């Protein structure tokens, strides 16, 4: 699986307007809805907020990977957002998050959901990639960085 198989270019937000965790989830959800307008926004936000209540998906190093499962979806979908200023996402290291991948999976697909999370984590494990994503000038540049790294795996 390639990240770009599930990340439409239109679902990339080069600079989030959000300043809170909830606003990040709302903005990334709205980016997904541009590509999957049949999804129930209220239900998706409910699922994501419930997942955050279980424990923050802010994994540290300026990264958060909020995720959840929802009915009425036939395949994985991903959105991406970046905040130059950083947003408190209650990350494990206590530092603000700058890079966000929101992953939504169909209700009954644990294996592929976990593989996608692992693929994203592997991509972001490289500090050079994180830096390039943080400083990219546009949606197209972010997409190109992910494509280049995607092809390397």
Residues catalogued as catalytic: 67
Calpha distance 38→72 (Å, rounded) = 8
- Asked if 96 and 16 touch (Cβ cutoff 8 Å), the reply is no
Residue 3: other Cβ atoms inside 10 A: 20
Calpha distance 51→143 (Å, rounded) = 27
End-to-end Cα spacing for the chain: 10
Calpha distance 53→51 (Å, rounded) = 5
């Amino acid at each position: 699986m390639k990240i770009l198989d599930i990340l439409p270019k239109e679902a990339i937000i080069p600079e989030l307007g959000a300043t809170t965790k909830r606003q990040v989830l709302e903005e990334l959800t709205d980016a997904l809805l541009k590509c999957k307008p049949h999804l129930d926004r209220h239900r998706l936000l409910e699922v994501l907020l419930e997942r955050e209540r279980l424990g923050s998906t802010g994994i540290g190093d300026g990264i958060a990977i909020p995720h959840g499962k929802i009915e009425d979806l036939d395949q994985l979908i991903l959105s991406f957002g970046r905040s130059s200023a950083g947003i408190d996402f209650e990350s494990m290291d206590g530092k603000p998050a700058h890079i966000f991948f929101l992953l939504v999976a169909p209700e009954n697909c644990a294996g592929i959901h976990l593989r996608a999370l692992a693929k994203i984590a592997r991509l972001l494990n490289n500090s050079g990639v994180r830096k390039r994503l943080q400083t990219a000038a546009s949606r197209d540049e972010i997409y190109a960085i992910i494509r280049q790294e995607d092809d390397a795996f």
